[in-house]
Structure 1
Amino acid sequence: MSGMTIGETLVARLRQRDVTCVFGIPGVHTVELYRGLASSGIRHVTPRHEQGAGFMADGYARVSGKPGVAFVITGPGLTNTLTPMAQARADSIPMLVVSGVNKTASLGKGLGHLHELPDQLGLARTVALESEQISDANDLDAALDRVFHHLTNGRPGPVHIEVPLDIAAAEYQKAPVETPDPEPPVNPALITHAAKHLAEAKSVVILAGGGAKRAEAGLQALAEALDAPVVQTVNARGLMHGHPLTVPASPSLSAVRSLIESADCVLALGTELGPTDYDMYATGQLAEMSDLIRVDRCSDQLARHEASITIEGDVILVVPALFEALPQEAKQRDGAERARKTRNAAWEEIGPDYRHQVEILNAIRSATPKALMVGDSTQPIYAGNLFYDHDRAGGWFNAATGYGALGYGIPAAIGASVADPSARVICIAGDGGAQFSMPEIMAAVDENLPVTFIIWNNHGYREIATSMQDVGVTVIGCDPTPPDFAATAKSFGIPFTSVPAEPQAVAQALRETDAQDGPVMIEIAAPKFEPQKD
């Protein structure tokens, strides 16, 4: 490492930690990071806005299972990335944001330097699990150890490192490396205790959250052994696709709540039991859960809801351990029938409008099997979050729950495609949300990524307009004029087609564009929402 700057060394250290891609926009405050980037073997993808960099890192992390990394400048670069960091915090997505910052001697002085913030480190700490400043060469390795500990142990989320201009350009001097303690093993006594509760119960229900999305095989085996219906939150969709025990429906629906409340033991795997999944209709309370057993990587999360048994650990490890601890003889229960009745009741409950939109999602899934389906806050995504059975574990995700940031879908889909170039990626965004991040499509053009951008165009913010109307507020501000999407696609140099909001038409458009090399745009011309007149 002799003769390398701290900025160059930081990049080399990231590569040693299996970072293979960063999303970033170079600036004068990050030049020293880029000095070492071209020769590092790390791929660089250039978004059009730092918010896009963060959302791309988010989508990349969800698909790859590795931390998504963004390089941003000080000041506006970091503040533009705070929204993606907050979304990642809400959904437990591992994200590393590396920013520049002004020279050390100027920090906190209010001297009017370019991109100056009163306390950039403190600002980042409002959303980051850990925010570190590299103040000299001795800080670098220890700081990386600390932030990567948060990314790979316990419940992940966003972390931040800032490098002052003068430090980034300084020569690196080798410093001792502190290796953090490994994540503690799961307590075997708790496994035995929980397995006994599950074996003795007569009507188990499993709640699977985002923390279970990489535990598909073990989850299916455990569910079958317990004959237990498996309710999946938004971030767990795609687990057990088409299985008789699957309940791919929101636990906020009355039908699903009834299923949960009828259980004599509830096993909650990697789910925070948050209201955007479990109480989206704002009743003020969760479904009653008898003999609740919770498994989560975060001790703080486990303490937030009363439970009979709490097991701190990774669901991927805990689920097989629970299965092995169960008695060998399986009990015959009525799990498949309970799951079937719940699916049927939930399907009726969501109503004809949402059922039609789910039928469009089903048509998309049939036309593009095993695709990654990434969404923004728009009508088909709301419908799918209520009821939709995706065919790929971890292949359905969006920003309509948790932090709920608009503009997420387009850049997150790009990050997902970078993570898995072999996958067909379908991005579903509304005409309103698409306008938050439309320029990011050019990053997909630059990288020649196989992303199909589906724009649900109903000429406005229908969900907000409906909410205003439902409480007697005059609808205003919900009808921003959308661009001409055909002309927009032409300006991007990508194929475009417009189809009606009918399942067969959408599926046909997808089949016709399947052989296209690079990004494609499909507009679904949905009926325009017309508020009721007073």
Structure 2
Amino acid sequence: MTHDHDLVLRPTDAQTKAALAPPPGRIGGDLVMETLAGLGATTVFGLPGQHALGMFDALRRSDLRYVGLRVENNAGFAADAYGRITGEAAPLLLSTGPGALTALAALHEAAAASAPVLAISSQVPAAGLGGGRHGYLHELPDQAASFRGVVKSVHTVRTPSQIPSALADAWRSALSAPHGPVWVEIPQDVLLAETHLPVVTAADATPAELVPRVELTAVAADLLAHAERPAIIAGGGVVRADASGKLRRLAERLAAPVVTTFGGKGAFPWQHPLSLQSWLEDRHTTDFLEDADVLLVVGSGLGELSSNYHTFRPRGRVVQIEADLGKLESNHPALGIHADARLALQALLETVPERTDPTAPDRVRTLLEKVRARIDAQELTLEQDVLAAVRRALPDGSPSFWDMTILAYWAWSAFDAKAPNTMHSAQGAGGLGYGFPAALGAAVADPTRPVLAVSGDGGALYSIAELATARQYDLDVTWLIVDDGGYGILREYMTDTFGQPTATELARPDYAALAESFGVPGVRTTPQSLEDDLTAALATPGPSVVVLPAVLRMFAPTHLDGR
């Protein structure tokens, strides 16, 4: 009797011959590149540094495409977006110490948004590992400790032979549900060491599927089958699992209204009769969801933004499907199902009977009318017109990447993403500077569609150096910069709270002229000409900058004023 674990793959004669006679001149860095290629990677992002030169020398001998950015944090944002768009683990090559630490905020965003980033950092020579003080340039007492609280897993390599397995383990970790960033560090001398190991031709790092427990989905199906007022909150996990089609089928079978979180934009059709859209920062929506007798939460932890700043108090039963075990029931008691959203939705589709409720579309329509009336009463025509102009200018299939800026906050609630996995923002961790470098990563991932980045002038200054990257690689990204002369949302927060702002005003450059100095076309626009200028920029191949001088305001926070 033969068991699976008894099977051994036997090399062919040609493979044996090649393994016994590896090409000369290879070093540890070559094992890195060979393993990445064997895992299926085609593109790497990053910046070189003194301890990492062994990786970059090997990169020259590989077929991997390299996209170098000007700041490590921006390289991390680009890798994050590449991972979101492709669903693949995006390799990020970094140096030791300052170079590694500069990418920490980007990895924080990738962790919060479950973006698969494979960060590979150099380290001081192996003799310097272990927390001593050896005086190496860039040395940290424990570099891995700086990342352990952020990434999914940390892998430290100490010999060349460990490189392929460590990278395969990290790759599997990054792509196991929930996706996320991982950290691999390799000492300088290991990267530079001559190796006679066989060329790495393939590496098996297939992640295990996160399957729901059948007894839990049976209970969930029974609750939904007998619900009188079911509703669904669809989060980013639906998008990451490519489960929007299954979500729609289940919602229609249950006649259940669906609201998408800001991370789940596009998970459900915006104009569908059951679509509550994304108005989560609205008390009318919160009331509607609280009234559901069974609330199905798919791919969301119901965090601060998704719960209208923790004012949401469900009165009915909650069923939560979540791949991140730490988020399961972390904010509300629920029937918690630890599973990939796609597999769990499929299980429900196989067991939930069809339910009819002719009143559901009317209740959805009534809610959206209340939301619209509340917004219209606040005299925010400029903001709505600007967002509508952006939507009309952006082709339906093109992705957009939004920085932490007032227009993005509007977009979270009011922007129709048109399709899943097309609208992305930094609302996971909330750091500045995400929009433009992330858009560059998306353009690398899919050069067939123009990409839009949206920033305020404050966030734009975090990533202005990447105009050089956009020009160098001729990436098809249009960057809309809304210039209000400061940190606009912080200006509002401080004025509302303290009566006046402090440290929010910025001296800033002429962004259009600055773009031109990088060889990137730049244009100043107005709210009236924005649609035409954006349309023209998006239709022109290569990078471009559109600057809109405007002071935008946020709509009133209904978690505070009640209605």
Q: Scaled by the length of structure 1, what TM-score is found?
A: 0.92
Aligned counterpart, 1:90: 112
Residue aligned with 2:60, SS: coil
Shift of 1:252: 3.1
Which residue identity lines up with residue 221 of structure 1 in the other structure?
Answer: R
Q: Is 2:144 the partner of 1:121?
A: yes
| Partner of residue 173 from structure 2, selected from 135, 150, 165 | 150
Aligned counterpart, 1:415: 441
After superposition, the C-alpha distances for 1:170-215 in whole angstroms (9 at most, x for unaligned) are 2264699896872353223322221121111111111011101121
Aligned counterpart, 1:518: 542
Q: How does 1:15-164 map to 2 (within 5 A)?
A: 15-107=37-129, 108-164=131-187
CA contact (8 A) 1:253 1:349 kept: no
Q: Is 2:520 the partner of 1:494?
A: yes
User: 1:261 and 1:496 mapped to 2: Cα distance?
Assistant: 47
Using a 3 Å threshold, how does the CA distance of structure 1 residues 115 and 289 change in structure 2: closer, same or farther?
Answer: farther
User: 2:54 and 2:490 mapped to 1: Cα distance?
Assistant: 45
Which residue identity lines up with residue 451 of structure 1 in the other structure?
Answer: V
User: 2:390 and 2:491 mapped to 1: Cα distance?
Assistant: 27
| Partner of residue 380 from structure 1, selected from 407, 411, 427 | 407
Shift of 1:473: 5.1
| Partner of residue 206 from structure 1, selected from 206, 218, 232 | 232
Which residue identity lines up with residue 518 of structure 1 in the other structure?
Answer: G
| Partner of residue 278 from structure 1, selected from 279, 287, 307 | 307
User: 1:528 and 1:277 mapped to 2: Cα distance?
Assistant: 23
| Partner of residue 506 from structure 1, selected from 530, 534, 541 | 530
Aligned counterpart, 1:340: 365
User: 2:260 and 2:467 mapped to 1: Cα distance?
Assistant: 31
Aligned counterpart, 1:532: none
| Greater mean alpha carbon deviation, residues 286-295 or residues 42-51 | 286-295
Q: Which runs of 5+ in 1 are unaligned?
A: 530-534
Which residue identity lines up with residue 507 of structure 1 in the other structure?
Answer: E
User: 2:145 and 2:282 mapped to 1: Cα distance?
Assistant: 40
Shift of 1:139: 2.4
After superposition, the C-alpha distances for 1:453-495 in whole angstroms (9 at most, x for unaligned) are 0000111112111111112254221111121112111101122
Which residue identity lines up with residue 304 of structure 1 in the other structure?
Answer: S
User: 2:111 and 2:138 mapped to 1: Cα distance?
Assistant: 25
Q: How does 1:170-249 map to 2 (within 5 A)?
A: 170=193, 171=195, 173=197, 182-213=208-239, 214-239=242-267, 240-249=269-278
User: 1:178 and 1:249 mapped to 2: Cα distance?
Assistant: 40
Using a 3 Å threshold, how does the CA distance of structure 1 residues 120 and 448 change in structure 2: closer, same or farther?
Answer: same
Q: For this pair of structures, how many residues does the alignment match?
A: 522
| Greater mean alpha carbon deviation, residues 158-167 or residues 181-190 | 181-190
Aligned counterpart, 2:428: 402
Using a 3 Å threshold, how does the CA distance of structure 1 residues 353 and 144 change in structure 2: closer, same or farther?
Answer: farther
CA contact (8 A) 1:154 1:183 kept: yes
Residue aligned with 2:523, SS: strand
Q: Is 2:284 the partner of 1:258?
A: no
Q: Scaled by the length of structure 2, what TM-score is found?
A: 0.88
Residue aligned with 1:477, SS: coil
User: 1:427 and 1:258 mapped to 2: Cα distance?
Assistant: 34
Q: Is 2:189 the partner of 1:166?
A: yes
Residue aligned with 1:513, SS: helix
Which residue identity lines up with residue 300 of structure 2 in the other structure?
Answer: T
After superposition, the C-alpha distances for 1:223-245 in whole angstroms (9 at most, x for unaligned) are 11111111111111123132121
| Partner of residue 323 from structure 1, selected from 338, 349, 352 | 349
CA contact (8 A) 1:376 1:408 kept: yes
Percent identical pairs in the alignment equals 30
After superposition, the C-alpha distances for 1:345-394 in whole angstroms (9 at most, x for unaligned) are 22333464656424322322222222211110111111111322221212
Shift of 1:77: 0.8
Shift of 1:14: 1.0
User: 2:126 and 2:97 mapped to 1: Cα distance?
Assistant: 14
CA contact (8 A) 1:227 1:334 kept: no
Which residue identity lines up with residue 114 of structure 1 in the other structure?
Answer: L
Q: Which runs of 5+ in 2 are unaligned?
A: 1-18, 554-563
CA contact (8 A) 2:209 2:340 kept: no
Shift of 1:268: 0.5
CA contact (8 A) 1:130 1:150 kept: yes
Using a 3 Å threshold, how does the CA distance of structure 1 residues 216 and 431 change in structure 2: closer, same or farther?
Answer: same
User: 1:391 and 1:444 mapped to 2: Cα distance?
Assistant: 26
CA contact (8 A) 1:99 1:162 kept: yes
CA contact (8 A) 2:177 2:210 kept: no
User: 2:412 and 2:313 mapped to 1: Cα distance?
Assistant: 18
Using a 3 Å threshold, how does the CA distance of structure 1 residues 132 and 350 change in structure 2: closer, same or farther?
Answer: farther
Which residue identity lines up with residue 346 of structure 1 in the other structure?
Answer: V
